[in-house]
Amino acid sequence: MDTIKTERLDLAPLNPTQLQQYLEQPDLLEQELGIPISRGIVTEIVQRAIRMKLAKMANADKTLFAWYTYWLLVIRSAPFGAGLVGFKGPPNQNGEVEIGYGIDQNYQGQGYMTEAVRAMISWAFKETSCCSVTAPNTKKWNLASQRVLLKAGMKVYEESEDAFSFKIERD
Protein backbone atom coordinates (compact mmCIF):
# COMPACT_ATOMS: atom_id res chain seq x y z
CA MET A 1 0.00 0.00 0.00
CA ASP A 2 1.55 3.24 -1.15
CA THR A 3 1.37 6.64 0.53
CA ILE A 4 -0.69 9.28 -1.28
CA LYS A 5 1.03 12.67 -1.44
CA THR A 6 -0.83 15.96 -1.82
CA GLU A 7 0.41 19.54 -1.67
CA ARG A 8 0.64 19.55 2.14
CA LEU A 9 -0.13 16.00 3.23
CA ASP A 10 1.02 12.42 3.21
CA LEU A 11 -1.84 9.93 3.47
CA ALA A 12 -0.28 6.76 4.84
CA PRO A 13 -2.34 3.55 4.82
CA LEU A 14 -2.08 1.75 8.16
CA ASN A 15 -1.58 -2.00 8.11
CA PRO A 16 -3.55 -4.18 10.57
CA THR A 17 -0.75 -4.13 13.16
CA GLN A 18 -0.55 -0.33 12.99
CA LEU A 19 -4.34 0.00 13.31
CA GLN A 20 -4.21 -2.20 16.41
CA GLN A 21 -1.36 -0.10 17.80
CA TYR A 22 -3.29 3.13 17.20
CA LEU A 23 -6.08 1.65 19.28
CA GLU A 24 -4.06 0.06 22.09
CA GLN A 25 -0.46 1.32 22.00
CA PRO A 26 -0.25 4.68 20.21
CA ASP A 27 3.21 5.34 21.69
CA LEU A 28 4.49 2.26 19.85
CA LEU A 29 2.94 3.48 16.59
CA GLU A 30 4.56 6.89 17.06
CA GLN A 31 7.94 5.20 17.51
CA GLU A 32 7.44 3.10 14.38
CA LEU A 33 6.31 6.06 12.25
CA GLY A 34 8.76 8.53 13.77
CA ILE A 35 6.11 11.23 14.26
CA PRO A 36 3.61 12.20 16.97
CA ILE A 37 -0.02 11.27 16.30
CA SER A 38 -3.28 12.72 17.56
CA ARG A 39 -4.94 10.89 20.42
CA GLY A 40 -8.05 13.10 20.34
CA ILE A 41 -9.57 11.57 17.22
CA VAL A 42 -9.86 8.06 18.64
CA THR A 43 -13.36 8.46 20.06
CA GLU A 44 -15.65 5.52 20.93
CA ILE A 45 -17.05 5.67 17.40
CA VAL A 46 -13.55 5.55 15.87
CA GLN A 47 -12.57 2.70 18.21
CA ARG A 48 -15.60 0.73 16.99
CA ALA A 49 -14.75 1.56 13.38
CA ILE A 50 -11.15 0.40 13.82
CA ARG A 51 -12.33 -2.88 15.35
CA MET A 52 -14.72 -3.41 12.42
CA LYS A 53 -11.94 -2.62 9.96
CA LEU A 54 -9.61 -5.10 11.66
CA ALA A 55 -12.28 -7.81 11.57
CA LYS A 56 -12.91 -7.23 7.85
CA MET A 57 -9.18 -7.15 7.09
CA ALA A 58 -8.68 -10.47 8.90
CA ASN A 59 -10.89 -12.12 6.28
CA ALA A 60 -9.99 -10.00 3.25
CA ASP A 61 -7.47 -10.47 0.49
CA LYS A 62 -4.42 -8.32 1.28
CA THR A 63 -4.80 -6.57 -2.07
CA LEU A 64 -8.01 -5.02 -0.67
CA PHE A 65 -6.53 -3.73 2.61
CA ALA A 66 -6.25 -0.17 1.27
CA TRP A 67 -10.06 -0.11 0.87
CA TYR A 68 -10.66 -1.23 4.46
CA THR A 69 -7.99 0.54 6.48
CA TYR A 70 -7.68 4.04 7.81
CA TRP A 71 -5.10 6.25 6.14
CA LEU A 72 -3.17 8.47 8.55
CA LEU A 73 -3.35 12.14 7.54
CA VAL A 74 0.19 13.41 8.12
CA ILE A 75 0.80 17.15 7.90
CA ARG A 76 4.28 17.30 6.40
CA SER A 77 5.19 20.76 7.75
CA ALA A 78 4.50 19.72 11.37
CA PRO A 79 5.14 16.66 10.97
CA PHE A 80 2.09 15.33 12.81
CA GLY A 81 -0.47 12.57 12.32
CA ALA A 82 -3.55 14.77 12.65
CA GLY A 83 -6.38 12.67 11.26
CA LEU A 84 -7.76 9.52 9.73
CA VAL A 85 -9.58 8.99 6.44
CA GLY A 86 -10.71 5.83 4.71
CA PHE A 87 -13.36 3.76 3.03
CA LYS A 88 -15.60 1.07 4.52
CA GLY A 89 -14.50 -1.44 1.91
CA PRO A 90 -13.99 -1.94 -1.82
CA PRO A 91 -16.62 -0.88 -4.35
CA ASN A 92 -19.94 -2.72 -3.90
CA GLN A 93 -22.00 -4.26 -6.71
CA ASN A 94 -23.15 -0.74 -7.70
CA GLY A 95 -19.58 0.57 -7.82
CA GLU A 96 -20.03 2.66 -4.66
CA VAL A 97 -17.65 3.17 -1.76
CA GLU A 98 -18.39 4.99 1.48
CA ILE A 99 -15.86 7.43 2.93
CA GLY A 100 -15.33 8.37 6.58
CA TYR A 101 -12.85 10.66 8.30
CA GLY A 102 -11.88 12.64 11.38
CA ILE A 103 -9.27 15.23 12.27
CA ASP A 104 -7.77 16.61 15.47
CA GLN A 105 -9.75 19.70 16.48
CA ASN A 106 -6.57 21.80 16.53
CA TYR A 107 -6.22 21.22 12.77
CA GLN A 108 -9.84 21.76 11.75
CA GLY A 109 -10.78 24.65 9.48
CA GLN A 110 -7.44 24.72 7.67
CA GLY A 111 -8.43 22.72 4.59
CA TYR A 112 -6.47 19.61 5.50
CA MET A 113 -9.44 17.26 5.50
CA THR A 114 -10.83 18.66 2.26
CA GLU A 115 -7.42 18.06 0.69
CA ALA A 116 -7.37 14.50 2.06
CA VAL A 117 -10.92 13.70 0.93
CA ARG A 118 -10.21 15.01 -2.58
CA ALA A 119 -7.08 12.83 -2.75
CA MET A 120 -8.97 9.76 -1.55
CA ILE A 121 -11.75 10.33 -4.10
CA SER A 122 -9.13 10.63 -6.84
CA TRP A 123 -7.43 7.43 -5.60
CA ALA A 124 -10.77 5.56 -5.53
CA PHE A 125 -11.66 6.60 -9.08
CA LYS A 126 -8.41 5.06 -10.35
CA GLU A 127 -10.12 1.72 -9.68
CA THR A 128 -12.30 1.10 -12.73
CA SER A 129 -14.99 -0.64 -10.67
CA CYS A 130 -15.49 2.48 -8.50
CA CYS A 131 -18.22 4.70 -9.95
CA SER A 132 -19.12 6.84 -6.93
CA VAL A 133 -17.99 7.85 -3.45
CA THR A 134 -20.68 8.41 -0.83
CA ALA A 135 -20.92 9.94 2.63
CA PRO A 136 -24.40 8.95 3.81
CA ASN A 137 -26.06 10.19 6.98
CA THR A 138 -23.90 13.25 7.55
CA LYS A 139 -25.64 14.90 10.49
CA LYS A 140 -27.19 18.30 9.86
CA TRP A 141 -25.50 19.73 12.95
CA ASN A 142 -22.07 18.71 11.58
CA LEU A 143 -21.49 21.81 9.46
CA ALA A 144 -17.72 21.29 9.28
CA SER A 145 -18.14 17.86 7.71
CA GLN A 146 -20.72 19.19 5.26
CA ARG A 147 -18.26 21.92 4.20
CA VAL A 148 -15.50 19.34 3.65
CA LEU A 149 -17.75 17.21 1.44
CA LEU A 150 -19.06 20.16 -0.57
CA LYS A 151 -15.56 21.60 -1.09
CA ALA A 152 -14.41 18.14 -2.21
CA GLY A 153 -17.03 18.26 -4.97
CA MET A 154 -19.71 16.07 -3.43
CA LYS A 155 -23.41 16.90 -3.70
CA VAL A 156 -26.42 16.10 -1.52
CA TYR A 157 -28.45 13.26 -3.03
CA GLU A 158 -30.76 12.56 -0.12
CA GLU A 159 -32.04 14.32 2.97
CA SER A 160 -33.66 12.95 6.11
CA GLU A 161 -34.96 14.74 9.18
CA ASP A 162 -31.51 14.93 10.78
CA ALA A 163 -28.96 14.17 8.04
CA PHE A 164 -27.77 14.73 4.49
CA SER A 165 -26.29 12.04 2.26
CA PHE A 166 -23.55 13.12 -0.13
CA LYS A 167 -22.20 11.59 -3.33
CA ILE A 168 -19.73 12.26 -6.11
CA GLU A 169 -19.74 10.26 -9.31
CA ARG A 170 -16.90 9.52 -11.66
CA ASP A 171 -16.92 11.84 -14.69
Task: Tell me the one-letter amino acid at 44.
Answer: E
Q: Is the pLDDT of residue 28 over 80?
A: yes
Span 115-125, mean pLDDT?
Answer: 98
pLDDT score for 171: 84
Sign of the CA dihedral with 12 first, then 10, 135, and 45 last: positive
Question: How far is 18 from 119, CA to CA, in rounded Å?
Answer: 22
Q: Is the pLDDT of residue 122 over 80?
A: yes
108: CB partners within 8 A, 6+ apart: 144
pLDDT one-digit tens code per residue, 132-149:
999 999 999 999 999 999
Alpha carbon distances (Å) from 110 to 78, 107, 119, 144, 153 = 13, 6, 16, 11, 17
Sign of the CA dihedral with 128 first, then 131, 136, and 140 last: positive
pLDDT score for 54: 94
Alpha carbon distances (Å) from 116 to 55, 62, 92, 97, 158 = 25, 23, 22, 16, 24
pLDDT score for 42: 87
Question: How far is 85 from 105, CA to CA, in rounded Å?
Answer: 15
Lowest-confidence pick of 41-45, 114-118, 162-166? 41-45
pLDDT score for 1: 64
Q: What is the mean pLDDT of the chain?
A: 95
Span 70-91, mean pLDDT?
Answer: 97
Read off the pLDDT band of 43 (50, 70, 90): confident
Task: Tell me the one-letter amino acid at 80.
Answer: F
Question: How far is 6 from 33, CA to CA, in rounded Å?
Answer: 19
Read off the pLDDT band of 32 (50, 70, 90): very high
Which CATH architecture describes the domain 4-169? 3-Layer(aba) Sandwich (3.40)
pLDDT score for 96: 98
Question: How far is 9 from 52, CA to CA, in rounded Å?
Answer: 26
Total-model pTM: 0.95
**Cβ 10 vs Cβ 22: under 8 Å:** no
